[in-house]
Chain A
Amino acid sequence: MADELRNVPVPAKPALWRRPAVRSLVFQILLVAGIGFFGYTIFQNTLHNLEQRGISTGFGFLENEAGFGILMTLIPFDETYTYGRTFLVGLLNTLLVASLGIFFATIIGFIMGVARLSRNWIISRLATIYIEVFRNIPLLLQIMFWYFAVLRPLPGPRQSLIFNDTLFLSNRGLYMPSPVYEQGFWLVVVALAVAIVASIMIIRWAHKRQEATGEQFHSVYASIGLIVGLPLLAFFMMGMPLSWDFPVLQRFNMAGGMVVIPELAALLVALSIYTGAFIAEAVRSGILAVSHGQTEAARALGLRPGPTLRLVIIPQALRVIIPQLTSQYLNLTKNSSLATAIGYPDLVAVFAGTTLNQTGQAVEVIAMTMAVYLAISLTISLFMNWYNKRIQLVER
């Protein structure tokens, strides 16, 4: 066999170390070994350094009493709670500002993106100026500007600007009445839940019917009626079990009611305006990416401008917009950590700030903080990827 083969002009087998498969295997093994060694060295160094310097380690500190107060908490908190609780408080504050910011930035972004394409000269100019100005100035600078330069001139709590005897605006924040739920309010909540479920069912039914028969049903009006009407009915049936707690001026501050603190307001305004400018650009490019033929085709089918935009242009534009929107949402969430510069008690300010400093356990605290942001980022991108896939063109 071997002798016969020798006569056939077969290319010589490459040496073992020249074969791509072997090479890539060796390279990958080396890489794993390298990374493993690197990680191990860092781990050892850290352990050694911590021990050498007498720094306490471990997550036991989370059980200890914090002993400091926090400006704004969504869950009950005072100085007797633990460091673990400060983590939760900070996390919730971060989630609050991020979700509000995403909400407002999306609205601003869509309005401005459409406005920039408007035929109205002055409107489109103004939108362009807005986008170009706010996109090109560092966010941190904007946050500080809103906080120190804009909220500073507001009057003190005793000279609050009062609107309708219910809203009080001062440099301590915007105070408004908070609802107090009395007995029997549960029925209103139940009614709302029932209405939402019923609306979803109606919308599904209407959709099916349209597919089957082509008849349309105004499910939007029906569900709005349900969602507003049913809870209202329950509310009056139970004898209006709701009262308001009005803020009252005390010696130093307003007490009672709800308050939007100026730190939150400044952060929210800056985040929404900054991210809104980027979203506006995404929206504009998305709309421009839909070819004009689509509009003309829709018109030719007899669709009026409203439905054309709603049913033809926007669904196609969304495919371009969504990926950009996702990264803007991610950026906004990460940028909310700049709160620490103006004292809004978010995760970085409270946990990676005060808690880190009181306990001195930098490694644990920073690792936990980073893990949280990673988790939030992954969740947002998973959700947006899922949504993007849902609205993606289904090619047949």
Chain B
Amino acid sequence: MKKIHVIASAVTLTAVMSTSAFAGATLDEVKKKGFVQCGVSTGLPGFSSADEKGNWSGLDVDVCRAVAAAVFGDAAKVKYTPLTAKERFTALQSGEIDMLPRNTTWTLTRDTSLGLNFAGVNYYDGQGFMVTKSLGVKSALELDGASFCIQAGTTTELNLADYFRANNMKYTPVTFDSSDETVKAFDAGRCDALTSDQSQLYALRIKLGNPDGAIVLPEIISKEPLGPVVAQGDDEWFNIVRWSLFAMVNAEELGISSANVDEKKASTDPNIRRLLGLEGIKGSGLGLSDDWAVNIVKQVGNYGESFERNVGAGSSLKISRGLNALWNKGGLQYAPPIR
């Protein structure tokens, strides 16, 4: 009898706790569940981090919220799965999460052999170095023989090896599982330099005991286009994620923000009217309601707003737009037109 009870309760537990995902149509699954399951980092200020109450915020988190706003009209319908760098791809491949906007660099290998698709680029980054001021180093080329704190399982590891091989210099890698441990070890003086995507360096610098004692070197040794990833084989979902991001960029370009989106509905500019679902293909191409983009802009904001709020002037990171300015303002953010 006892055993039967145990089995029965195990079955109920399984039934209650398991969720179903990864069928051909992710959108249907997501709609059925009522939320978007979103894989984020375990804590990277500005991109995805949780406060004491467990509320997530950040530039990457905003992509998830935008998708939720597009699908449900409610940006809050997101659940977050914190993932280490190691776990992230398997989580997506196995369908545990619906999308992965987790500071993931777009590379050929990842795009082709891991069963993933990159839906776009929400942050153009490059790998940089942070050193303590007292070392007196001005350029990465002076770092011959130095040791580097790196996060395991990232493109950073590979870029570093390439850079030092190309410049015929020697280095010692000291790898850690999480960015927290990496920065702790750097703070403790375990290594001479910390290397990571430059945006992360600014985020990690705040975590140092003495942030002013460290500087970020000017060199960028790699291209790191970071963007949301979805599993291969579901074009509909791929399009939704991709165009949710594009809608944010287009909104900024057209001057639509969360503050003025309702007024802009009265606009006669056909570009604005198409984005806001008042004419043209509207939401049907994506299988969404017509006001999908309105919901994104209203609840999450346009790309510029999200940037300033999370990593830019409105945040403690104070990263300048740089490469991430709009294309017509000297940057690389360029979204295909909505028509």
A touching B, CB within 8 angstroms:
yes
Give the interface of A toward B (CB within 8 A): 49, 52-56, 67-71, 79-80, 148, 151-152, 156, 171-172, 250-253, 255, 262-263, 340-343, 345, 349, 353-354, 356-358, 360, 362
Q: B114 near A354 (CB under 8 angstroms)?
A: no
Q: A171 near B190 (CB under 8 angstroms)?
A: yes
Residue of chain B at shortest CB distance from A68: B157
Q: B114 near A55 (CB under 8 angstroms)?
A: yes
Chain B residues closer than 8 Å to A358, beta-carbon distance = 153, 157-158
Q: B175 near A354 (CB under 8 angstroms)?
A: yes
Chain B residues closer than 8 Å to A152, beta-carbon distance = 188-189
Interface string of B108-126 (1 = CB under 8 A from A): 0010011100000000000
Q: Using known A-B contacts A69-B160, A171-B188, A341-B177, determine if residue A356 contacts B86 with beta carbons closer than 8 Å.
A: yes
Q: Using known A-B contacts A69-B160, A172-B190, A353-B153, determine if residue A56 contacts B86 with beta carbons closer than 8 Å.
A: no
Option from B135, B144, B173, B189 in Cβ contact (under 8 Å) with A69: B173
| B259 interfacial by beta-carbon distance below 8 Å | no
Option from A55, A341, A342 in Cβ contact (under 8 Å) with B93: A55
| B11 interfacial by beta-carbon distance below 8 Å | no
| Number of chain B residues close to chain A: CB under 8 A | 42
Interface string of B168-206 (1 = CB under 8 A from A): 000111111100010011001110100000000000000
Option from B89, B165, B171, B192 in Cβ contact (under 8 Å) with A360: B89
Q: A253 near B174 (CB under 8 angstroms)?
A: no
Q: A349 near B152 (CB under 8 angstroms)?
A: yes
Chain B residues closer than 8 Å to A255, beta-carbon distance = 145
Q: A68 near B189 (CB under 8 angstroms)?
A: no
Chain B residues closer than 8 Å to A252, beta-carbon distance = 135, 143, 145-147, 192
Q: Could you tell me the distance between the alpha carbons of A83 and B143 in the complex, rounded to whole angstroms?
A: 27
Q: A71 near B162 (CB under 8 angstroms)?
A: no
Chain A residues closer than 8 Å to B93, beta-carbon distance = 49, 53, 55, 360
Residue of chain A at shortest CB distance from B171: A69
Q: A360 near B177 (CB under 8 angstroms)?
A: no
The list of the 4 closest CB pairs from A to B, nearest first, reads A357-B153, A54-B115, A53-B115, A79-B161
Q: B161 near A68 (CB under 8 angstroms)?
A: yes
| B81 interfacial by beta-carbon distance below 8 Å | no
Q: Could you tell me the distance between the alpha carbons of A262 and B149 in the complex, rounded to whole angstroms?
A: 14
Chain B residues closer than 8 Å to A172, beta-carbon distance = 147, 190
Q: A360 near B114 (CB under 8 angstroms)?
A: yes
Option from B144, B173, B189 in Cβ contact (under 8 Å) with A70: B173
B114 to chain A, nearest CB (A): 4
Q: A360 near B86 (CB under 8 angstroms)?
A: no
Chain B residues closer than 8 Å to A360, beta-carbon distance = 89-90, 93, 110, 113-114
| B85 interfacial by beta-carbon distance below 8 Å | yes
A145 to chain B, nearest CB (A): 13
Q: Using known A-B contacts A79-B165, A148-B184, determine if residue A343 contacts B115 with beta carbons closer than 8 Å.
A: no
Chain B 264-300 interface residues, beta-carbon cutoff 8 Å to A: none
Chain A residues closer than 8 Å to B181, beta-carbon distance = 341-343
Option from A49, A55, A151, A349 in Cβ contact (under 8 Å) with B175: A349
Chain B residues closer than 8 Å to A79, beta-carbon distance = 158, 161-162, 165
Q: Could you tell me the distance between the alpha carbons of A53 and B91 in the complex, rounded to whole angstroms?
A: 12
Chain A residues closer than 8 Å to B160, beta-carbon distance = 68-69
Q: A171 near B145 (CB under 8 angstroms)?
A: no
Q: Could you tell me the distance between the alpha carbons of A172 and B93 in the complex, rounded to whole angstroms?
A: 39
Q: A68 near B188 (CB under 8 angstroms)?
A: no
Option from B89, B90, B143, B152 in Cβ contact (under 8 Å) with A353: B152
Option from B90, B110, B146, B176 in Cβ contact (under 8 Å) with A253: B146
A90 to chain B, nearest CB (A): 12
Chain B residues closer than 8 Å to A263, beta-carbon distance = 174
| B233 interfacial by beta-carbon distance below 8 Å | yes
Option from B86, B144, B145, B174 in Cβ contact (under 8 Å) with A343: B174
Q: Could you tell me the distance between the alpha carbons of A341 and B152 in the complex, rounded to whole angstroms?
A: 11
Q: Could you tell me the distance between the alpha carbons of A262 and B161 in the complex, rounded to whole angstroms?
A: 22
Q: B184 near A69 (CB under 8 angstroms)?
A: no
Q: B145 near A253 (CB under 8 angstroms)?
A: yes
Q: Could you tell me the distance between the alpha carbons of A255 and B153 in the complex, rounded to whole angstroms?
A: 27
